[in-house]
């Protein structure tokens, strides 16, 4: 069931929430299935948490974290992409190359790195930042972070969704190994470090000395 690429003017990630719905629509061709669908309304969970889902060949991961800080503060810190390596384990540096463009240097196995140049795909102040690799990048990737008021004065819900489609060849093999952990674990780790940094001003470590890991 290879589907056409989902990338459209709005960008893949904007559409991700609807992907499971699309899959459901295809399955709903028979009237029997349609009746079944009526008895089973789509739930309100993010599409990426579906037990079975396809995103047109893209791998997708995402996580949500609640941070006890105001939205504008978190947005401003994230929007300065050069801050991202402070809490993203595999990101060595982000170098701005224009008002909306930046080169991300990602750590790869054996001390190598992979560069990806991105442009801002969508931006709403204090609410959303979405980026996309420019055409011809080694890795075809998109990412989106949203900031929403958490209920009950708990601060902000920060949701990060990343999709990527590694190409073939040597770079592809390298890119496949970029995530040293399960991608969703990596996303969880990165967001937790972001939370620690924003809430406490530091990232917890049990190291005993500055040289040795604890």
Partner 1 sequence: MRALAWHGTHDVRVDTVPDPEIINPKDAIIKVTSTAICGSDLHLYDGVIPSMKSGDILGHEFMGEVVETGPKSTLEKGQRVVVPFTIACGCCFFCDKEQYSACDNTNPVEKQDMSETLYGKAMCGIFGYSHMTGGYSGGQAEYVRVPFSDVGPIVVPDGMEDDQALFLSDILPTGWMGAENADIEPGDTVAVWGCGPVGLFAAQSALLMGAERVISIDHHPQRLQLAKQIGADIIDFRRTDVREALMEMTGGIGPDAVIDAVGMEAHGFAVDNMMDVAKQKIGIGADRASALKQAILAVRKGGRVSMPGVYGGMTDKFPLGAFMEKGLTLKTGQTHVQRYLQPLMEKIQAGEIDTTWLISHRLPLEEAPRGYDQFKNNQNEWTKVVLKPGS
Where do contacts with partner 1 occur on this chain (CB under 8 A)?
66, 68, 154-155, 185, 188-189, 192-193, 195-196, 199-210, 212, 214
Q: How far is the CB of 212 from partner 1 (least distance, A)?
A: 7
Question: Can you say whether the dihedral through the CA atoms of 182, 149, 99, 80 is positive or negative?
Answer: negative
- Judge contact between 157 and 64, C-beta under 8 A: yes
Nearer to partner 1, 66 or 82 (CB): 66
Question: How far apart, in whole angstroms, are the C-alpha atoms of residue 194 and residue 201?
Answer: 10
Q: How far is the CB of 84 from partner 1 (least distance, A)?
A: 15
Tokens, residue 139: 């890795």
Q: How far is the CB of 1 from partner 1 (least distance, A)?
A: 32
Q: How far is the CB of 16 from partner 1 (least distance, A)?
A: 24
Nearer to partner 1, 44 or 211 (CB): 211
Question: How far apart, in whole angstroms, are the C-alpha atoms of residue 214 and residue 148?
Answer: 35
Burial letters 91-102, b for 16+ CB under 10 A, else e: bebbeeeeeeeb
Q: How far is the CB of 107 from partner 1 (least distance, A)?
A: 15
Question: How far apart, in whole angstroms, are the C-alpha atoms of residue 49 and residue 46?
Answer: 6
CA angle at 9 for the pair 8 and 11, rounded to the nearest 5° = 65
Nearer to partner 1, 170 or 211 (CB): 211
Nearer to partner 1, 101 or 189 (CB): 189
Nearer to partner 1, 18 or 203 (CB): 203
**Beta carbons within 10 angstroms of residue 33's beta carbon:** 13
């Amino acid at each position: 069931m290879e589907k056409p690429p989902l990338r459209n003017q709005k960008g893949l990630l904007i559409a991700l929430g609807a992907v499971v719905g699309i899959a459901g629509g295809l399955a709903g061709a028979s009237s029997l299935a349609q009746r079944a669908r009526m008895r089973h309304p789509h739930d309100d969970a993010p599409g990426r948490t579906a037990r079975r889902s396809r995103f047109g060949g893209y791998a997708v991961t995402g996580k949500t974290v609640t941070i006890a800080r105001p939205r504008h503060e978190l947005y401003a810190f994230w929007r300065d992409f050069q801050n991202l390596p402070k809490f993203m384990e595999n990101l060595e540096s982000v170098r701005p190359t224009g008002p909306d463009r930046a080169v991300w240097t990602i750590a790869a196995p054996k001390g190598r790195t992979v560069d990806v140049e991105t442009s801002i795909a969508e931006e709403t102040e204090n609410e959303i930042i979405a980026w996309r690799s420019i055409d011809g990048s080694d890795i075809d990737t998109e990412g989106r972070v949203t900031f929403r008021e958490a209920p009950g004065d708990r601060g902000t819900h920060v949701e990060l969704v990343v999709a990527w489609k590694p190409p073939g060849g040597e770079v592809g093999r390298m890119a496949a190994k970029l995530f040293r952990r399960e991608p969703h674990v990596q996303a969880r780790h990165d967001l937790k470090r972001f939370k620690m940094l924003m809430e406490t001003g530091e990232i917890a470590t049990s190291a005993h000395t500055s040289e040795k890991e604890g």
